[in-house]
Amino acid sequence: MRRLLVLMALLLAAALPARAAEDVVLDLSQDEVSISTNFDGSEILVYGAVKREDPIPEDSELDVVITVEGPFVPLTVYRKARVLGVWANTEAVEVDLAPSFYAIATSAPFEEVLSNVEDLRHHVSIPRAIRSVGAPVEVENAQVFTDAVIRIREAGGSYQLKEGSVSVREQTLFSARVQMPANLTEGTYRTRIFLTREGRVVGQLEREIAVRKIGLGRWLFNLAQGQPLIYGILAVVIALVAGWTASAVTQLLRS
Amino acid sequence: MQLYLPIAEVSVNLILLLGLGTLVGMLSGMFGVGGGFLITPLLFFMGIPPAVAVATGANQIVASSVSGVMAHLKRRTVDLRMGVVLLAGGLVGSGFGVWVFNILKEQGQVDLLVRLAYVIFLGVIGGLMFIESVRALRRSKSGGGTRKKRHSHVWVHGLPFKMRFRASGLYISAIPPLMVGAAVGVLAAIMGVGGGFIMVPAMIYLLGMPTKVVIGTSLFQIIFVTAFTTLLHAVTTQTVDIILAVALIVGGVLGAQVGAVIGSKLRAEQLRILLAGLVLAVCFKLALDLFLTPEELFVIAEAG
């Protein structure tokens, strides 16, 4: 009897905050990415289920959008132009904040999954994720600079839009794999999941993935930042010893 | 086999890195150049940020130069006195160069100026060396009795503060070597190279040192200038990647020994013509990048 009461209370508690008709229950295959010295990229499996009180709405399809974003960093983008026959950086535009990594996975083509209004509100698509561009007045058409950031980073695999890569089963279970490239920056990676119907967001959840260097790499990085002089001396001493040892060994082998 | 570099924050192929180190080490042993003028652009191509490539390149050259200089010390082909004078100039020049580098970096023009500097210096020096060594080869083939006098009396020999450099067989003023050292120091800091490819011809043509001593002596000076540059970079911008450096060093120290053996078997003229060809090839590649329309007109630079 007591057990039954506890169970009922639990069920109630679970149901109460769920004012929204559909909620996300989520897990990640790993919520920590360790960058060791032989790190060669990583794959994260994002999977979960939709929790709902009411029966599955019949009039619309459930779609899922997953984003993973790296730390935001300010950038300077230069445009090259011919100066005296040589290609030189001429105009510069500061992009206030751009993620170092940004992946979007959707269950259907992006325009079908998320409306423009919702995209504006939640900053989901890649152009929306890059925060305002403070262009100097003399630069016309600063948009091409932001476009360039997207183009360059998409080509390098840092920005990815994978339409249809989220598989949704029975409008309830969903999963997606997100590829993290080898050139990851340390930091907290925000992961967002949006449940949408007809382009409107009906449910949303956020999780964080910690990307950290470990082992020797971490130690060296901290030393370089915290004790740069000692780090520099260490670098020089290693080089001196290595160079001397190598030549001593070859002398020995030769005689 | 991938290797993640903690400072550069990229992952690169270990075999490729080792191969690059070996190649550059061989050059170092053969010609007395640190090989920075090759290693720095090649690291760019592997996707390593330019600042890290420059600073770590300097670190690697320390090791390959030490390894190279040992072989030369054994053969007594290092003019230590000349090396110390060159070094005194080099440290001053390096400090000045890093200062200039940081100013240019703030204006986003460092990349262009580095490339321009490469094209101009490599072009002029490579061309001069090529012409000179072709002439020397012809002379030696046509009977070779009429070699040019080694000590032509130019303005360099009329300056005060004369010093005797016994190993080089010279009695000249300390001012020209100091200036050569300083100029090389500036270029070393700005271009991220040891500066041997500029110092070697300067020592031969400007100071009139015998080719035999030039390589060992320039290696000797390069050790200290690059060590100093490594320290400066580590302290001011934290861009020295020890893991990257060690990978390059392992390849490099082996290559240097091989190179020194090959170098001692080739004739001086052949050595110079090889180096001239190499310098011109790198110059040509860099010039192409400057003058041809790039595929991507935009460049991203991370602030801070």
pLDDT (tens digit per residue) in B126-139: 888 788 778 877 87
Per-residue pLDDT tens for A25-82? Answer: 888 888 788 888 777 788 889 888 888 887 777 778 888 999 998 888 888 888 888 8
In a domain, B106, yes or no: yes
Q: Are residues A239 and B7, on separate chains, in Cβ contact within 8 Å? A: no
In a domain, B264, yes or no: yes
Based on the fold, state whether residues A205 and A225 are members of the same structural domain: no
Based on the fold, state whether residues A205 and A239 are members of the same structural domain: no
Q: Which residue has the higher pLDDT, B47 or B5?
A: B5
Residues from chain B that touch A149, judged by Cβ atoms under 8 A, are 298, 300
Q: Are residues A239 and B70, on separate chains, in Cβ contact within 8 Å? A: no
Nearest Cα residue in chain A from B299: A78
Task: Compute the average pLDDT of residues B157-167.
Answer: 72
| Tokens at B62, concatenated | 């320390």
Specify the pLDDT at position B80.
85
Instruction: Determine which of A241-250, B80-89, B172-181, B295-304 has the lowest per-residue pLDDT on average.
Output: B295-304
The number of distinct structural domains making up chain B is: 1
Specify the pLDDT at position B146.
46
In chain B, the percentage of residues whose pLDDT exceeds 70 is 87
Based on the fold, state whether residues A135 and A208 are members of the same structural domain: yes
pTM comes to 0.72
Share the mean pLDDT of chain B: 78
Task: Compute the average pLDDT of residues A115-135.
Answer: 78
Task: Compute the average pLDDT of residues A192-217.
Answer: 86
Based on the fold, state whether residues A185 and A231 are members of the same structural domain: no
Q: What is the predicted ipTM?
A: 0.77
Q: Which of A177, A196, A212 is the endpoint of a domain? A: A212
Is residue A188 over pLDDT 80? yes
Is residue A218 over pLDDT 80? yes
Helix H segments across chain A? 2-15, 110-113, 116-122, 126-129, 143-155, 215-226, 228-254
C-alpha to C-alpha distance for A126 and A109, rounded to whole angstroms: 14
In a domain, B299, yes or no: no
Report the gap between the CA of A208 and the closest CA in chain B (Å): 21
Q: How confident is the model at residue A124 (pLDDT cuts 50, 70, 90)?
A: confident
- Identify which of B3, B234, B291 has the shortest CB distance to residue A231: B234
In a domain, B304, yes or no: no
- Percentages of chain B per state (helix, strand, coil), in multiples of 5: 70, 5, 20
- Identify which of B116, B242, B290 has the shortest CB distance to residue A220: B242
Report the gap between the CA of A122 and the closest CA in chain B (Å): 25
CB proximity B288 to A under 8 Å:
no
Range of the domain at A46: 21-212
Which H/E stretch holds residue B191? helix B175-191
b/e per residue, B47-69, with b = 16+ CB within 10 A? ebbbbbbbbbbbbbbbbbbbbbb
Instruction: Determine which of A73-77, B175-179, B201-205, B261-265 has the lowest per-residue pLDDT on average.
Output: B261-265
Specify the pLDDT at position A235.
92
Count CB atoms within 10 A of the CB of residue A240.
17
In a domain, A15, yes or no: no
Q: Are residues B10 and A183, on separate chains, in Cβ contact within 8 Å? A: yes
Based on the fold, state whether residues A41 and A134 are members of the same structural domain: yes
Helix B268-291 × helix B36-45 angle, to 10°:
40
Is residue A4 over pLDDT 80? no
The number of distinct structural domains making up chain A is: 2
C-alpha to C-alpha distance for B279 and B134, rounded to whole angstroms: 15
Q: How confident is the model at residue B28 (pLDDT cuts 50, 70, 90)?
A: low
In a domain, A7, yes or no: no
Angle CA(B230)–CA(B235)–CA(B236) in degrees, nearest 5?
Answer: 100
C-alpha to C-alpha distance for B251 and B230, rounded to whole angstroms: 19
Specify the pLDDT at position B304.
42
Q: Are residues A184 and B60, on separate chains, in Cβ contact within 8 Å? A: no
